Amino acid sequence: MKTLTASETRSVLIENRLDRSGNPGFAFRNPPTSIFYDWHEHPCHQITYARRGTTQIEGPDGRHLLPTGHAIWIPAGTRHRTMIRNLDGVSVYFDPTHFPADCPKHIQTFPAPPLLQEMLFHTLRWTAGPAEQTPLAVSFFHTLGLLCLEQMQAGSSQFFRLPCASHPSVQRAMDEALVSPGQASLAQALHLAGMSERSFRRHFHAETGMTWQDWITQARLFYAATLLGEGLRVTDVAVEVGYGSLSAFAKAFTHQLGTSPVRYRKAQTDH
């Protein structure tokens, strides 16, 4: 994976004209290679759709998963960093003045039905910087924005967000767990946080709204989606993320992402 520095990330923003607002918007294909962009923000609203591959976005409130068949919303001015792994997708940027005012204020993942998928890719006709403010462009971006907003309001992004913590001891335990979530344990987290189990559980729930077990389960399934997106076998992924039973892994993954790990892996090669 290629990791960009802050200055390299800034150069990419300028090169793709992401340092200014579109009028009413524009789009470009995501790079087919794995790449990690440093922390940045831009004056446009962003929606990225993943037809294949898996992406993680880290924002102020934690990590967000963008799995195959979904899109992610990043409001204008939101500081974030992005880890893309072999993504076949498109990123669309909206001038905030051409997007509904009641849009979400936080990063959110949402399902993209077929019509929305086609419309998101259709925006690639406006790739050379901001689109001209023609009646067609204005109408198209406005309609696309309304349809995306409808999907965001209808669905829950709970399963696609991994909360972070402001408490330094709790966050230290989280960061270490994310290095290898399949091997992470409560005992290890308690040691790194320097807390008793009772204190750690209390602080953890207060910070995230989740129990440690629910959080680490979600972290493991985030990692599983990334590995499956790279084409690894389902049985190997189940072991890597800490599941001794293939059926238990399949059940947890399906509950989290709405599709079985076999189908999710197959989707990576269907296009």
What is the identity of the amino acid at 148? C
pLDDT for 218 beyond 60: yes
Q: Which whole number is the average pLDDT over 203-221?
A: 95
Cβ contact 147:120 at 8 Å:
no
> How do the domains of the chain map onto residue ranges?
2-160, 164-267
Q: Which whole number is the average pLDDT over 167-181?
A: 95
| Domain 2-160 listed as CATH 3.40.1550.10 | no
Which is it for strands 45-59 and 62-66: parallel, antiparallel or unpaired? antiparallel
Would you place residue 230 in the very low, low, confident or very high pLDDT band (cuts 50, 70, 90)? confident
Q: Which whole number is the average pLDDT over 88-113?
A: 91
Mean pLDDT of the chain: 90
Token pair listed for 118: 């086609």
Q: What is residue 32's predicted lDDT score, i.e. its pLDDT? A: 72
Task: Give tens-digit pLDDT for 101-144.
Answer: 889 999 999 989 999 999 999 999 887 655 567 888 889 999 99
- Name residues whose C-beta falls within 8 Å of residue 196's C-beta, 6 or more positions apart in sequence: 190
Q: Where are the beta strands (DSSP E) in the chain?
A: 2-3, 25-29, 35-40, 45-59, 62-66, 70-74, 80-94, 108-111, 161-163
- For residue 209, is it left (φ>0), alpha (ψ between -120 and 50) or beta? left
Cα separation, 31 vs 184, in Å, equals: 32
Token pair listed for 136: 């067609």
Task: Give tens-digit pLDDT for 32-76.
Answer: 778 999 999 999 999 999 988 888 999 999 999 998 889 999 999
- The helices-and-strands tally (H runs, E runs) of the chain is 10, 9
pLDDT for 158 beyond 70: no
Would you place residue 20 in the very low, low, confident or very high pLDDT band (cuts 50, 70, 90)? confident
Using CB atoms within 10 A of its CB, is residue 37 exposed (0-12), middle (13-18) or buried (19+)?
buried
Cα separation, 120 vs 14, in Å, equals: 22
- Who wins on pLDDT, 127 or 224? 224
Q: What is residue 214's predicted lDDT score, i.e. its pLDDT? A: 95
- Name residues whose C-beta falls within 8 Å of residue 207's C-beta, 6 or more positions apart in sequence: 163, 165, 166, 167, 170
Other Cβ atoms less than 10 A from the Cβ of 247: the count is 9
Identical fold between 2-160 and 164-267: no
- Name residues whose C-beta falls within 8 Å of residue 94's C-beta, 6 or more positions apart in sequence: 22, 24, 25, 44, 45, 46, 47, 141, 145
Q: What is residue 28's predicted lDDT score, i.e. its pLDDT? A: 87
Would you place residue 157 in the very low, low, confident or very high pLDDT band (cuts 50, 70, 90)? low
CATH superfamily label, 164-267: Homeodomain-like (1.10.10.60)
Q: Which whole number is the average pLDDT over 141-161?
A: 87
In whole angstroms, how far apart are CA 238 and each of 68, 92, 253? 19, 34, 10
pLDDT for 271 beyond 60: no
Token pair listed for 17: 């004209």
Phi, psi of 84 (to 5 degrees): -105, 130
